[in-house]
Chain A
Amino acid sequence: MTAAANLLTFLGLVVTLLLVWRQSLPGRLRLFVAHSVLLALLAATIGWLAGRPGLVGVGAVFLLVKAWAIPRVLWRIAAGAPVRLVAPGKSAGLALLAAGALVVAAYAIMLPVRAATELPTEGAIPLAFAMALIGLFLCVTGRDAFGHILGFLVLENGIFGFAILATYGLPGIVEAGVFLDVLVIVLIMEAVVVRVRQEHDSIEEERLRELRG
């Protein structure tokens, strides 16, 4: 079972790296859904491994929120976007290299944590942490508001995975609160993005600077 958890986390990291590489909007959305599904599976696996049926329930809710409700909202945001030309020469190679560096950093940072824990899942902890860091990195490099939202969601997924692996899940009430928060944040972001697009005809980062007072 430990191997399954490690594999699922590893696959999650691979999907995260693909998110860094992929440029097309619908493609990234599909990757995000895949990422969420993998993490829901991870929650269920660990719930089974640790004998905590509550975690399986958390995984189900996670699947509902992150793989269905939020992607629907994101799809609504994406549907309104004009078709964007991918600028030639903007290679994802450098971004992938940076993401790789973040994975190394995650391993380095998590050394003391791994030394302190006795859980069978400790091998996957740095991978989940790397997902969170790369999520933040996606936020940093996002070229429009959609990119920022996606990065934030990946960061959130990474933290969820990290919590599952390091402590066998947070208390149910905390998880419920976090899910609600994320859902509300995404809805608010949708409203803001739609509004900005109406006023501004664009949500690209370069043009967002013009909003400065």
Chain B
Amino acid sequence: MAALAYTLAAALGLAAVALGVGGMFGWTWTLAVSWLVPLGGLELALDPLGGFFVALVGAMAVPASVYAMGYAHGSRRGVLAYLVFVGAMAVVPLAANVMTFAIAWELMSLASYFLVLHEREARESADAAWAYAVMTHVGLACLLAGMLLLATWTGSVRFADWRLAAPGLAGPARSLAFALLALGFAGKAGVIPLHVWLPLAHPAAPSHVSALMSGVMIKLGVYGLIRVALDWLGGGPPWWGVAVLLAGAVSAVLGVLYALVDHDLKRLLAFHSIENVGIILIGLGAGMLYHGAGLETLALLGLAAALYHTVNHAAFKVLLFLGAGAVVQATGTRDMERMGGLVKRMPWTAACFLVGSAAIAALPPLNGFVSEWLTFVALLQSAAIARPAINLAFAAGIAGLALTSGLAMACFVKAYGITFLALPRSDAAAGAREAGTAMRAGMLVLALACVALGLGPTVVLPALERVAAPLLGLPAPPPRALGDWLTVNVSGGFASLSTLAIAAALGLALVAPLLGLALAGAGSRRRLYETWGCGRLLQTARMEYTATAFSNPFKRVFDFLYRPVKRLDIEFHPESRFFVQRIEWTNPTRSIFEDWLYRPVLDGLHWAARRARAIQSGSANLYLAYILAALLVLLVLA
């Protein structure tokens, strides 16, 4: 039963890929069923941008569903919600009017809410689901407000009519609509400071769902931002682009910084999603600014970089979440400090996770490197816009992106090293077993996709430019060459990259010394001996480097952000204080956003609720008196 449902989801994913790729290459259609729902009816439309995101949803749903067949062990819980979730995500990019969009968006949110509640017996899951429900509905309120305002001003609930009418709207009206819609979509995308639900909800869901939430669902927030900024409203004043660029830079840097000090494997990945959405937004913001300045080829580059990173992040983040799921299932814990030594016990998972880690850390020749390189190239040409304030925003983006890349590298050295290398830190890790065939198949496909996306930018980039070009008002096939089959050549020779050549060079550098040694006649006799342990006689897992120790230097450097608290708990021997039985030292960090933004807001809400309770006395007489008073007031005023 469950296997059938996951097969169905995978088939749905394949269909979505076919549909979406068709849309990317110019197959467009609309489908309107006006009687099905009120306020404009159900209306779907396929265009290149929508097709791109539908294909993305489908392409990620296939490996996740295959993986789920092995992961869920035939458990029926959440199967229906999963199907609805995948289906709704595939419909969101196709929605062509407000009602259709709202239904698909809300179905997606509700289905994922139930999936976050998967382990509903756990207090933690219930809290996470609650936070998620609140944040997603605040976002929905912003979206609906913005959409209804636009519908009122343009006199239509169809997105196609907004495209035509939006340039005629007054500047402040357009900006208000942009702000509301962008807030709503940014909340779904997990942009800081609207990210608080993300590190709670992603770990709570089952891993194939976390993978889709992180890899695909938050991308639909990015989809919305692209639609609003470049399609529905058709560009705007420079501050839109600056806001997106800076929000992206802040999210990227803070996301990776929070990930560094988190030792819950799935939460760490969730924070990296925030970081990567930040990187995507840096590219998008650059594209918006170039578009506003009339530099369409540069805008195309920025937008294509953002789209490329969207695909790449989906590929490696789904892979990493699936790998983390396999690890969590094998060890029964999400705490990295209790893992270790898994590379010997789960070699397939370890290899796939390594590919994902290298990709997210932007190591060439994998896919993360290509899209971050493109983003850099787009940012570095900001001198073409001769406005110092905007150039400054670009500089902030460059600095943020550079810092992020380095920190992400450090973070994944920690994530991979502590989880997979060295000796097992707990019995559970020592007894871990490799994941089943279905789970390995899901991860393997994605690992190959990461390599392919890294080696094939010469094929991928033109396809992405076909998607981006119509948004910028350029003719569908871009009129310029992107280099040959080997090398990507952007901005007329400003920069060029060949990941194939890099891969060949790396391979050669790896093989050459071995070859040289063999030629030089080095001994081929094998000697087996235990690992060198710095001369210590006894080697236990307690002596190993821990994740806490690894991240401590960062904690010290960035202590203004983490504001760590030191808690020292010493238990003395009852006879004498000179003998210590146990020392426990914890060093938790605090979130600026929770303490300074959400806490005051929540306190204010509680205060208002307590005040409002005064009129709720429970007396029917009083309630009836309210009705009478309201009636009289209304009649007198009318």
If A137-B628, A140-B625 touch, whether A208 touches B635 (CB-CB below 8 Å) is no
Please tell me which stretch of B88-96, B510-518, B614-622 contacts chain A, meaning at least 4 of its Cβ atoms lie within 8 angstroms of it.
Answer: B614-622
Contact with A along B623-635 (1 / 0, CB 8 A): 0110110011001
B621 in contact with A136 (CB, 8 Å): no
Provide the bound-state CA to CA distance between A212 and B627, in Å. Answer: 20
A103 to chain B, nearest CB (A): 13
B636 at the interface (CB under 8 A from A): yes
B636 in contact with A108 (CB, 8 Å): yes
Contact with A along B441-482 (1 / 0, CB 8 A): 000000000000000000000000000000000000000000
Provide the bound-state CA to CA distance between A136 and B635, in Å. Answer: 14
Q: A205 contacts which of B620, B625, B635 (Cβ < 8 Å)?
A: B620
A136 in contact with B627 (CB, 8 Å): yes
B595 to chain A, nearest CB (A): 35
Q: A105 contacts which of B618, B627, B632 (Cβ < 8 Å)?
A: B632
Provide the bound-state CA to CA distance between A188 and B618, in Å. Answer: 22
A141 at the interface (CB under 8 A from B): yes
Closest residue on chain B to residue A108 by CB atoms: B636
A125 to chain B, nearest CB (A): 14
B635 in contact with A109 (CB, 8 Å): yes
Q: Which of A185-213 touch B at CB < 8 Å? A: 205, 208-209, 212
A54 at the interface (CB under 8 A from B): no
Residue with the greatest number of chain A CB neighbours at <10 A, chosen from B621, B631, B636: B621
The prevalent SS among residues of A at the interface is helix
B636 in contact with A109 (CB, 8 Å): yes
B636 in contact with A139 (CB, 8 Å): no
If A108-B636, A109-B635, A109-B636 touch, whether A139 touches B619 (CB-CB below 8 Å) is no
A28 at the interface (CB under 8 A from B): no
Provide the bound-state CA to CA distance between A105 and B624, in Å. Answer: 18
Closest residue on chain A to residue B624 by CB atoms: A140
Give chain A's interface residue range (CB within 8 Å of chain B): 10 to 19
A142 in contact with B632 (CB, 8 Å): no
Provide the bound-state CA to CA distance between A208 and B621, in Å. Answer: 11
Contacts of A142 in B (CB 8 A): 621, 624
Provide the bound-state CA to CA distance between A108 and B625, in Å. Answer: 20
If A109-B636, A136-B631 touch, whether A208 touches B624 (CB-CB below 8 Å) is no
A136 in contact with B636 (CB, 8 Å): no
A66 at the interface (CB under 8 A from B): no
A141 in contact with B621 (CB, 8 Å): yes
Contacts of A209 in B (CB 8 A): 618-619
A148 at the interface (CB under 8 A from B): yes
Contact with B along A112-156 (1 / 0, CB 8 A): 000000000000000000000100110111100000100000000
In the complex, the number of residue pairs spanning A and B with C-beta atoms less than 8 Å apart equals 33
A136 in contact with B618 (CB, 8 Å): no
A208 in contact with B620 (CB, 8 Å): yes
Contacts of A133 in B (CB 8 A): 628, 631-632
B514 to chain A, nearest CB (A): 76
B620 to chain A, nearest CB (A): 6
A212 in contact with B621 (CB, 8 Å): no
Contacts of B620 in A (CB 8 A): 148, 205, 208
Contacts of B619 in A (CB 8 A): 205, 209
A139 in contact with B635 (CB, 8 Å): no
Provide the bound-state CA to CA distance between A133 and B625, in Å. Answer: 11
Provide the bound-state CA to CA distance between A212 and B619, in Å. Answer: 9
Provide the bound-state CA to CA distance between A205 and B620, in Å. Answer: 7
Residue with the greatest number of chain A CB neighbours at <10 A, chosen from B619, B620, B627: B620
Closest residue on chain A to residue B634 by CB atoms: A109
A205 in contact with B621 (CB, 8 Å): yes
Contacts of B632 in A (CB 8 A): 105, 109, 133
Provide the bound-state CA to CA distance between A142 and B627, in Å. Answer: 14
A140 in contact with B636 (CB, 8 Å): no
A136 to chain B, nearest CB (A): 5
Contacts of B625 in A (CB 8 A): 140
Contact with A along B526-538 (1 / 0, CB 8 A): 0000000000000
A159 to chain B, nearest CB (A): 12
Q: Which of A28-49 touch B at CB < 8 Å? A: none
Contacts of A108 in B (CB 8 A): 636
Contacts of A137 in B (CB 8 A): 628
- Besides the known contacts A109-B632, A141-B621, A205-B620, 20 further A-B residue pairs in the complex with CB atoms under 8 A apart: A105-B632, A105-B636, A108-B636, A109-B635, A133-B632, A136-B624, A136-B631, A137-B628, A139-B628, A140-B621, A140-B625, A140-B627, A140-B628, A142-B624, A148-B620, A148-B624, A205-B619, A208-B620, A209-B618, A212-B618
Interchain Cβ contacts under 8 Å between A and B, 21 examples = A108-B636, A109-B635, A133-B632, A136-B624, A136-B627, A136-B628, A136-B631, A137-B628, A139-B624, A140-B621, A140-B624, A140-B627, A140-B628, A141-B621, A148-B620, A148-B624, A205-B619, A205-B621, A208-B620, A209-B618, A209-B619
Query: Which 8 A-B residue pairings sit nearest by Cβ, starting from the closest?
Result: A140-B624, A212-B618, A140-B625, A109-B635, A209-B618, A139-B624, A136-B628, A140-B628
